Amino acid sequence: MKIATYNVNGIKARLPRLVEWLAETAPDVVCLQELKSSDETFPESDIRAAGYGAVWHGQKGFNGVAILAKGTDPVERRRGLPGDPDDTHSRYIEADVAGVTIGSIYLPNGNPLPGPKFDYKLAWFDRLIAHAAELLASETPVVLAGDYNVIPTDDDVWKPSAMAADALMQPESRAAFRRLSAQGWTDALRTRFPTGPMWTYWDYQMNAWPRDAGFRIDHLMLSPEAVDRFADAGVDKDHRGREKASDHAPTWIILR
């Protein structure tokens, strides 16, 4: 079972690249982030024509998450995180597919800092950690996949000093990621590739892609029951270099 996460940076703008990638790699499940599309304008017909059912939680112009499943419809469990009924951001959706519970996550960026955006990032992360604890208690295979907007360690960025002042690398952001991991979640990509460059994002600016000046912020976190089935992981890096591509590359795991 191949499960991928892909921040498309605008599903309507990247639809040709998304459909192309689906046809070439045929993942069984895909978590999408940053749809930048309302629920009404989500391109369901195009996704179904590509062979995938979908559930989505859209928002006009920014945010937005979805889960696609090849040849079937994901069974939605939840949209939005518990803990803040007034939160209007579309950043989380959860569904069951073939016996695996999957959450698609678009964690807040948090810039600029200090300020309300960084505070919101940390508060949202706290809510995610609380919900993740409940998912772990189910003792079933769970995958929390998405754009976490956190660079976990200095090994996950091309040049730590270049990002030192960014919300993605602040001690508080990293501490929250460690708290999530400490519950019992496994970072799939670093399990497969413990050391060395393994980027998932390259900025459109500063010639970042040609210089390979990237970092890793797209993560697939596995419950112990999912780790028992873990077989492989990787990044479809070449898709970042295609015409009108997202600034993220699809990142994936395989579960037996």
Amino acid in the structure at residue 140:
T
Per annotation, catalytic residue among 6, 106, 148, 201: 106
Per annotation, catalytic residue among 28, 147, 156, 166: 147
Catalytic-residue membership of 148: no
Catalytic-residue membership of 154: no
Task: Render the burial of 149-176: b for 16+ CB within 10 Å, e for the rest.
Answer: bbbbeeebbbeeeebeebbbbbeebbeb
Nearest to 137 by CA among 220, 224, 230, 67: 224
Distance linking the first and last C-alpha atoms of the chain:
6
Nearest to 229 by CA among 200, 191, 175, 193: 191
The residues that are catalytic are 106, 147
